[in-house]
Copies of this chain bind each other. A is one copy, B any other.
Amino acid sequence: MSTTASNRVSRRFLLGALAALPALAATLVGARGARAEIADPLPSWNDGPARQGILGFLRATTDPASKGFVPPEERIATFDQDGTLWVEHPIYTQVVYCLERVPVVVKADPRLAEVEPFSTVLTGDFEQIGKLSMHDLEAIVVATLTGMDVETYAAQVKAWIGEARDHRWKRLYTELAYQPMQEVLALFRANGFKTFIVTGGGQDFVRVYSQRVYGVPPEQVVGSALGTKFGYDAASRPVLIKEPKLLLNDDKAGKPEGIHFAIGRRPQAAFGNSTGDREMLEYVKAGAGARLGMLVLHDDASREYAYGPALGLPETRVGSFPQALYDEAKRDDWFVVSMKNDWKRIFAFGD
């Protein structure tokens, strides 16, 4: 490069820099704006009734001058998982786990390859698998979730959840946690609430990753639970073996029952997304003082899924949100969160 060329470049650079000053100023303002946005506790939420409902509830329960004030040690918030904290469509992640575990089970006991429902699962034909009966699914649950000690099961789930990917985004299932709800969990904890997951899914399954993914420790996961049986292994070491005995069916009326059993007091706030959460929200909202009930409505077919059938969305086997639930929400002042309108983005990895 000649000196002239070099000068010219420098001149261009200087002129360019001067010309950029207003833009720089805008950047600085933007930086301030960004800082303000970092201070926004719910940056992935658009402003609206749902966001205001959350912030208003937190003000009411944490301001000592408020009538709705709740002492910090009594602050409890419960969150459904599937469809509320992460994607549940087209099929619950734990069901995927059970199906993908079948080949391992068959390898250990090859005779199962010729036996239903295992032979159907091994075909990988999802249309046929979708037609399996409840009785068939129970056989798969028993084969994949019971008979081992609790630590072995946890290790199996940990290995699977660390590498299995969903079919649409090709992401780890744990990446399909909703970013706006992660912000709600963090904001509730920052306001002194103990956050619990209350899931129809298996609590032993969710506990494997709840701390890492949601910041919720295993002992704050309440879910459907199979019993265990205490005994001794061949080396006389005490073990807990997972049994095919349903101890808690943590769905519908089982949710408030599970909450009483595991937590022992009525939460002030609850989040769900389907008829499975209805009784939990009714129970929470019926308490005295400030209460928050919130349902996530899946109405964003392009960024996630749209199903219902509230608001004319299609009915599905997973995650029922009928018109009656929508009507009850409106009548009893539960907030309905529109994923399409209330959420700026759905996932941490993108929009």
Q: Which residues of B contact A217 (CB under 8 A)?
A: 73
Q: A238-B279, A265-B218, A283-B230 are in contact. Are A260 and B211 (CB under 8 A)?
A: no
A219, B260: Cβ atoms closer than 8 Å: no
Interface of A is mostly: mixed
Q: Which residues of B contact A265 (CB under 8 A)?
A: 207, 218-219
A237, B204: Cβ atoms closer than 8 Å: no
- Is A180 engaged at the interface, CB distance under 8 Å to the other chain? no
- Is A309 engaged at the interface, CB distance under 8 Å to the other chain? no
Copies assembled: 2
B218, A260: Cβ atoms closer than 8 Å: no
Q: Which residues of B contact A76 (CB under 8 A)?
A: 219
Give the docked Cα–Cα distance between A62 and B14 (Å): 57
Give the docked Cα–Cα distance between A230 and B76 (Å): 19
A211, B282: Cβ atoms closer than 8 Å: no
Q: Which residues of B contact A283 (CB under 8 A)?
A: 230, 238, 240
- CB-CB nearest in chain B for A215: B73
Q: Which residues of B contact A253 (CB under 8 A)?
A: 229-231
Interface residues of A in 220-279 (CB under 8 A from B): 220-221, 225, 227-231, 237-238, 240, 247-248, 253-254, 256-257, 260-265, 279
Give the docked Cα–Cα distance between A211 and B217 (Å): 20
- Is A150 engaged at the interface, CB distance under 8 Å to the other chain? yes
Q: A238-B283, A240-B257, A247-B247 are in contact. Are A263 and B227 (CB under 8 A)?
A: no
Residue-wise, chain A 64-89 has the 8 Å CB interface mask toward B (1 for contact) of 00000000010010000000000000
A264, B73: Cβ atoms closer than 8 Å: no
A256, B279: Cβ atoms closer than 8 Å: no
Which of B211, B256, B264 is A218 in contact with, Cβ under 8 Å? B264
Give the docked Cα–Cα distance between A194 and B218 (Å): 12
Please give the distance in Å from A351's CB to the nearest CB on chain B. Answer: 32
Which has the most chain B C-beta neighbours within 10 Å: A221, A230, A257, A263? A230
Please give the distance in Å from A35's CB to the nearest CB on chain B. Answer: 30
Q: Which residues of B contact A282 (CB under 8 A)?
A: 238
- Is A286 engaged at the interface, CB distance under 8 Å to the other chain? yes
- Is A93 engaged at the interface, CB distance under 8 Å to the other chain? no
A260, B73: Cβ atoms closer than 8 Å: no
- Is A203 engaged at the interface, CB distance under 8 Å to the other chain? yes
**Closest CB pairs A-B (n = 7):** A218-B264, A230-B253, A238-B282, A219-B263, A207-B264, A238-B283, A238-B286
With A207-B265, A218-B264 given, name 19 new contacts (CB 8 A).
A73-B211, A73-B217, A150-B260, A203-B264, A218-B263, A218-B265, A219-B263, A219-B265, A225-B261, A228-B260, A229-B257, A230-B256, A230-B257, A230-B283, A238-B256, A238-B279, A238-B282, A240-B256, A262-B262
